[in-house]
Structure 1
Amino acid sequence: MMLLKFFGLFGPAAFSLAASTLPRLPINPNNDSIVHSLSLPGFQFRRVEPLVPTSSKKKIQNHLRLRRISTGRPQRSAVALLGQIQRDNGGGSYENVTAVNHYAVEYSVDAIFNGIPMTIVVDSGSADTWIRGSNFTCRNIQNQTISEDACGIGSFFSGNFTDGPIVNEHFTIRYGDGENLEGQLGYMDVELAGITVASQEIALASRGTWFGNNVTSGGLGLAYPSLTSAYMTDDLDLDNENLSIPYSPLFTSMVSDGLIEPYWALAMARNSSLGSISFGGMPPVDLNRSHYESTPILIADVINRDRTAWQPSFYTIVPKGFHFGRPETIGEYPFILDTATSLIYLPYNLAEGVNAQFEPPAKYSYDYGSYFTDCNAIAPKFGVQIEETTFWVNPKDLLNKEVRDPQTGYCQTGISDGGEGPFILGAAFLTNVVVSMNIGTGRVEFWSHEFY
């Protein structure tokens, strides 16, 4: 099977060769794996095939506390990437993405790199694990060197790669909002939630344009290997897709090395002391009274990244419907589950419909690219139907009283316009469920967690 070969029991060193030599598989419109056909600029979708489970004999209950950080500009979300892809392919885009993300939060965890603890952002919409190197140079959007304080990036990593950097290979990642990072790739031991991956390939960022939170010093990418950002050259300015070298990211290495069962699970929370993430097990959350459902992970074909046509990349699902007021809306739209996005991005007609149900109705602000209403407004009952189960969103997540337009005093709602899609279920939804990304079964699992 394709994914067995891609994720199979290879060590990190063998992974790049195995992945890079796989042929591109044609998209067959008559194939039963096609679950959704869309004329969206830059995207096609097909079902992910299950991965054969690892040989680990028990579920390892390792978990970490998630730290919720209020931040000015977490633009590393899938919103920025999808908007850029749509523009590159002649389509519309998420409106005013940068302004939307002025109002958001990030979730971080602590990891240990060659014995040195670092605080890094959890991001299910990217795949690379990177930390700030000691020689990091901060740049602005015009590529001019600026002060370190202007980047808002946390403390630097004071150690080194175990065996030096990888020769003729570098790390470059560019986000749709203009942020970017470049640096070296190499191997070091990484400990996360009590699990140690020996000789894991990670990146040390040496320069970049960054809008940080003055706390975190890197990122933990949990998406599939097709989204990794390694390139076969020492020139940091070259990121041509023809030079791309997929490698095994941290979570994939945990699975392929047989250290954990092939899934990670997340319980995000409004309160920074309650959230947690687990690898190969479940977070310490009581789910005895929760509703449960699962749905297939889809392959999202991003046209300007060839390998995502036949390899999984994002955690993409198709909800069966949306429930708010009357009537109930049924329809199939692709949604990416992204921990780094704050809002729920719906198709325009649905976003308008839900926001119209607020009392008083929420209005779209072109200045901020999202909807605002009176801070004492009554939020509608809103739920996302996944297969046969509806997961309801707590009203606290539909009206953010911490986010106010300084001119009107109005508050931002949790629902925004997702342009032409694919659409996004961000933190406003994810704080109402416990979610497990199970690459072993090729499915996302959900447990209701609306009240806590």
Structure 2
Amino acid sequence: MGVLPVLSAILLASTTHAEFTFVRRTSLAPRSQDVALPAAEFTVPFTGKASVRKSKKGALAALRGGASNAVVVDGTDFDEEYITNVTVGGQHFALIVDTGSSDTWVPQIGFNCFDLDHNPVSPDTCAFGTPGFNIQASKTFKPFPNVSFNITYGDGEFLSGPVGFDTISVGGLSVTGQEFGVPTLAAWEGDTVNTGLIGLAFPELTSVYNTTDPTKASGANQLPYDPFFFTAVKEKKLKNSIFSVSLDRGTLEQQENDIFDANLGFLAFGGIVPVPVTDTSVTVPIEGYSATTGIPSSALGSTFFFYTVDVESFTFPGSNKLSTAQNNTILDTGTTLNFVPTDVAAAYNAAFKPPAVNDPDVGGFIVPCNATVPEFLVRIGGKEFSVDGRDQLLPIGTDANGVLTCITGTQDGGPAVADNIFILGDVFLHNVVATFNPIAEQVTLTQRQKY
């Protein structure tokens, strides 16, 4: 998901401006969806879920990840990372699809690999799926001189290096002159499947700086740019300025045993993904952030980073005993779990049978994988969306007695203070089709049929 604490990102963004700026519109009130979303113009399957990156898996264990041409999404690392096939300058890569960040990057062939303590290690340690992007082999690559791509993720992974422009294609949707990072320095605990990431959030969250020295990257020299989807809209490649995501869950057996799961959902551009849905649907405004307070705001001039929505309530056994509303919650395909306020997480996990235990060695709530899962509903825009109990159990291994143990899908995201970000990750997104319209600053959520 996002790479900076949001307050830092907001203060950083407040001093700079993107080259391509969409006009801020007044946020609309939540409303039931009464107009059918168009069929996708371009659709790719998630080629699967690859094994989650070692760092993200460790973070999971430690609790811190008409005619339609749709792309399939796959899954890697025990169904923790959704990836799809992306072509960059004629070269093919499996990239993580992330609505919680904005940059597209692929390491440059010959990159230097480091561990999370910044010690040089063998390139194999970074465990990318390919040797990287070969600048010399692309006839369309153009360098962006005197700038640098520089990003550090919350788990300590980092990438740094040159920036360039090239033709990037996803599921038949192709844009030219897309800015992206081609890092030569990488600390990445990969899965041997993905070779980078494609970010789909807002321009102000991008990570290019007007300096070649990564130690000097700051808000004062940030150079926001158009992420892939914004470029597609700018180049008029889409009739409808929306993209849509459906993420399929893997089975418990797949999550426990498989490094790579094929065909686990769709990423669609220009319309809704082709999966069965119900009549429960709502369109809500995306919340911006105040440049002065770092708190979500619908005021004119607010800055957009994430797909932040207003959660009216979480409903589960015992939820009537506490306030569960939360208006600083982001929809993030790049995070596996739901992260909710501390008291909400504690009350929900206590409702498992047997009750989930907050294990300090794991760093989160765990239960036997055969536990009875309590109902969990998320109310957004006046509509309730249900989360299947199968999404609330993620295997992490066996205990001393050989019992398969699971981490629960809804975990403690910290105190419910105004500037703390909470997350509806893949655990929630398995149950809905999320259709994003960053141009109109809206998200449509549609309940999927049971599968």
**What's 2:444 paired with?**
445
Spell out, residue by residue over 1:3-35, the C-alpha distance to the aligned partner (whole angstroms, 9 max, x if none).
xxxxxxxxxxxxxx962698xx9xxxxxx97xx
Query: Match of 2:397?
Result: 404
Q: Does 1:65 align with 2:54?
A: no
Question: Cα 1:290–1:152, aligned 2, differ >3 Å: closer, same or farther?
Answer: farther
1:227 paired with 2:219, answer no
CA apart distance, 1:209? 0.7
- Does the C-alpha gap of structure 1 residues 366 and 339 become closer, same or farther in structure 2, counting only changes over 3 Å? same
User: Do residues 263 (structure 1) and 235 (structure 2) align?
Assistant: no
- TM-score normalised by L of structure 2: 0.79
Q: Specify whether residues 142 and 274 from structure 1 end up closer, same or farther in structure 2 by C-alpha distance, changes over 3 A only.
A: closer
Gaps spanning 5+ residues in structure 2: where? 1-15, 30-37, 66-76, 251-261
Corresponding residue for 1:311? 303
In 1, the alpha carbon distance for the partners of 2:413 and 2:157 equals 21
Query: C-alpha deviations, 1:217-269, integer Å up to 9, x for none?
Result: 11000000000000111223331221110111111101111111211100000
- After TM superposition, give the deviation of residue 296 of structure 1 in Å: 1.2
Q: Which residue of 2 aligns with 1:426?
A: 425
Judged with a 3 Å threshold, the aligned counterparts in structure 2 of structure 1 residues 332 and 236 are, in CA distance, closer, same or farther, namely closer
State the superposition RMSD in angstroms. 3.1
Measured in 1, the distance between the counterparts of 2:161 and 2:57 equals 17
Match of 2:134 in 1: 158
Would the aligned equivalents of 1:290 and 1:448 in 2 still touch at CA under 8 Å?
yes
Match of 2:119 among 116, 135, 144: 144
Aligned residues: 389
**Which deviates the most, 369-378 or 404-413?**
404-413
Q: Matches of 2:186 and 2:53 in 1, distance apart?
A: 18
Describe the superposition over 1:36-86 as per-residue Cα deviations: whole angstroms up to 9, x where unpaired: xxxxxxxxxxx599xxxxxxxx86521111121122535399xx8xxxxxx
User: TM-score, length-normalised on structure 1?
Assistant: 0.79
Q: Residue by residue, what CA displacement relative to the aligned partner does 1:300-319 show, whole Å, maximum 9, x if unpaired?
A: 3577999x983210110111
Q: CA deviation at 1:172?
A: 0.4
CA positional deviation for 1:422: 1.6
Using the alignment, how far apart are the partners of 2:28 and 2:162 within structure 1? 31
Unaligned segments of structure 1, at least 5 residues: 1-16, 26-31, 34-46, 50-57, 81-95
| Structure 2 match to 1:300 | 289
CA contact (8 A) 1:138 1:147 kept: yes
Q: What's the secondary structure of 1:167's corresponding residue? A: coil
2:129 partner SS = coil
Decide whether the 8 Å contact of 1:392 with 1:450 is kept in 2. no
Is 1:353 aligned to residue 342 of structure 2?
no
1:164 Cα shift?
Answer: 3.5
Q: In the aligned structure 2, how far is the partner of 1:177 from the partner of 1:100?
A: 7
Does structure 2 conserve the Cα–Cα contact (< 8 Å) formed by 1:48 and 1:312?
Answer: no
Q: Which residue of 1 aligns with 2:56?
A: 75
Is the 1:107–1:121 contact (alpha carbons within 8 Å) kept by the matching residues of 2?
yes
Identity of aligned residues (%): 30
Change (3 A) 1:163 1:226: same
Q: Distance in 2 between matches of 1:394 and 1:181?
A: 36
Q: Deviations over 1:338-362 (max 9, x none)?
A: 1111111111111011111111111
The 5 A counterparts of 1:350-389 are: 350-389=344-383
Q: Tell me the equivalent position of 1:243.
A: 221
Deviation, structure 1 residue 432: 0.6
Instruction: Give the aligned partner of residue 342 of structure 1.
Output: 336
SS in 1 for 2:184: strand
User: 1:286, CA displacement in angstroms?
Assistant: 2.1
Q: 1:404 to 1:48 in 2, by over 3 A?
A: farther
- Per the TM alignment, residue 403 of structure 1 is displaced from its structure 2 partner at its CA by 2.2
SS in 2 for 1:205: coil
In the aligned structure 1, how far is the partner of 2:172 from the partner of 2:442?
25
Match of 1:93 in 2: none
> Which segment drifts farther, 326-335 or 259-268?
326-335
Relative to structure 1, the CA distance from residue 238 to residue 281 in structure 2 (aligned partners, 3 Å threshold; closer, same or farther) is same
Cα 1:241–1:285, aligned 2, differ >3 Å: closer, same or farther?
Answer: same
